Amino acid sequence: MHNIKLGKYRHFKGGEYEVIGVAKHSETQEEMVVYRALYGEKQLWVRPVSMWNETVERGGKTFARFTYIGD
């Protein structure tokens, strides 16, 4: 079961996104986050929940890939 809140998130590189839902992959049943960029062409994207919740390391520092910033 996922623990993804709907709302706005900031990517560790600075971009902001809005999570609009969580869907299941039709073949694997893997949970996927459905989200929209809040800049540019505001494209829709999907990413596995497991990746969404990952931490990443850059320059010896660890960051959450996405951080919830509100509704």
Q: Which two tokens stand for residue 3?
A: 């623990």
Residue at 19 is within a domain: yes
Total domain count, the chain: 1
pTM: 0.88
Cα–Cα distance, 51 to 17 (Å, whole number): 15
33: domain CATH number is 2.30.30.320
Does residue 2 lie within any of the structural domains?
A: no
- Higher pLDDT, residue 63 or 3: 63
* Within-domain flag for 33: yes
**Residue 25 covered by a domain:** yes
3 band by pLDDT with thresholds 50, 70 and 90:
confident
Per-residue pLDDT of 9-29, as tens digits, reads: 999 999 999 999 999 999 999
- The domain in which residue 45 lies consists of 7-70
Percent of the chain topping pLDDT 70: 99
Q: What is the pLDDT of residue 2?
A: 73
Cβ neighbours for 58, distance < 8 A, ≥ 6 positions apart: 12
What the block records as the tokens of 47 is: 């990413």
Question: What is the C-alpha to C-alpha distance for residues 25 and 63, in angstroms, rounded to an integer?
Answer: 27
Q: Would you state the pLDDT for residue 1?
A: 62
